[in-house]
């Protein structure tokens, strides 16, 4: 992402608008990688009509399903600049364990329509998909920003028996802190930036910093959680999962890996095994 340090020389109202635009700007959709192609092509595809809360624009969301329609269902939620097929190795593991898997390409991602994505979009989509699962999800597995969206939906009351968050983010405050630090956006713009984001992206939310914060609104303690994070993750600090663990101290555990970074953690054999064991309630083995 291009540095935004130059915004220090732009009038503050305009600078805040530019920063908010840049924060939600999506690049080209991530492609289906060769090792994902077989799983991607095997999915049963359906389309969920979705409208962005901020402007009402329609974004048809592609939903992927794998496995026996009668099998217990696991929901997967991908992160920013990703897609459902990113979970291909984990999908294969869950299918081998006799589960049905449901995942979606978020708006502006994968094969879905739309040109932007907010946490409000993810939460609304998860609620709609969950309405078709009256018995609840056997488990929800999410990665990166998807952990926050999925966790907020669970805090809202979406029913699931277990939750696994890989390289997760704890709050929208952390997302914005990371954006400012990564892009060099002048800290003096923060208050104006927050106001623009609320007005343009979350107009119906009374307080996005309260609602989208799993340290303030944790996942219910009745849903055991597993958080996995790499100690050297350069994109999302390990501190984020430490905060998640502290907020879910009575119902969660944190596993720390080394050398996997932010994305490879989802494909790692040992992490996948641990996630499947957690979701399917098999007694987990220790990570080496």
Q: In the chain, where are the structural domains located?
A: 31-171+212-279
Q: What is the pLDDT of residues 152-190, one digit of tens each?
A: 999 999 999 999 999 999 999 999 999 999 999 999 999
Q: What are phi and psi of 64, to 5 degrees?
A: -110, 135
Q: What are phi and psi of 16, to 5 degrees?
A: -65, -40
Does residue 161 contact residue 130 with C-beta atoms inside 8 Å?
Answer: no
With 60 as the cut, is the pLDDT of residue 238 above it?
yes
Determine what percent of the chain is predicted with pLDDT higher than 70.
Answer: 95
C-alpha angle with apex 174: 170 to 179, nearest 5 degrees? 140
Q: How far is CA 82 from CA 70, 152, 210, in A?
A: 28, 20, 26
| Topology (CATH) of 31-171+212-279 | Rossmann fold (3.40.50)
Of 170 and 283, which is predicted with more confidence?
A: 170
Does residue 47 contact residue 62 with C-beta atoms inside 8 Å?
Answer: yes
């Amino acid at each position: 992402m291009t540095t935004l340090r130059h915004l220090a020389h732009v009038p503050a109202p305009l600078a805040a608008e530019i920063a908010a635009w840049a924060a939600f700007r999506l690049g080209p959709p991530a492609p289906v990688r060769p090792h994902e192609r077989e799983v991607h092509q095997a999915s049963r595809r359906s389309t969920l009509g979705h409208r962005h809360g901020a402007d009402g624009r329609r974004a048809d969301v592609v939903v992927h399903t794998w496995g026996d329609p009668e099998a217990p269902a696991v929901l997967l939620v991908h992160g920013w600049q990703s897609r459902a097929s990113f979970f291909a190795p984990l999908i294969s593991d869950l299918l081998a364990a006799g589960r049905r898997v449901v995942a979606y390409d978020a708006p502006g991602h994968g094969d879905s329509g739309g040109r932007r994505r907010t946490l409000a979009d993810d939460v609304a989509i998860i609620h709609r998909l969950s309405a078709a699962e009256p018995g609840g999800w056997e488990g929800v597995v999410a990665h990166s920003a998807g952990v926050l969206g999925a966790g907020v939906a669970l805090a809202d009351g979406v029913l699931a028996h277990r939750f696994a968050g890989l390289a997760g983010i704890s709050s929208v405050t952390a997302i914005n802190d990371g954006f400012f630090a990564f892009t060099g956006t002048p800290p003096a713009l923060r208050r104006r930036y927050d106001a623009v984001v609320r007005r343009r992206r979350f107009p119906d939310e009374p307080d996005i910093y309260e609602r989208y914060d799993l340290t303030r609104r944790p996942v219910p303690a009745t849903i055991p959680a597993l958080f996995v994070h790499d100690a050297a993750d350069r994109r999302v600090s390990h501190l984020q999962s430490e905060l998640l663990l502290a907020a879910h101290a009575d119902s969660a555990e944190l596993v720390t890996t080394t050398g996997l970074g932010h994305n490879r953690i989802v494909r790692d054999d040992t992490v996948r095994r641990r996630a499947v064991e957690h979701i399917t309630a098999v007694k987990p083995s220790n990570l080496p």
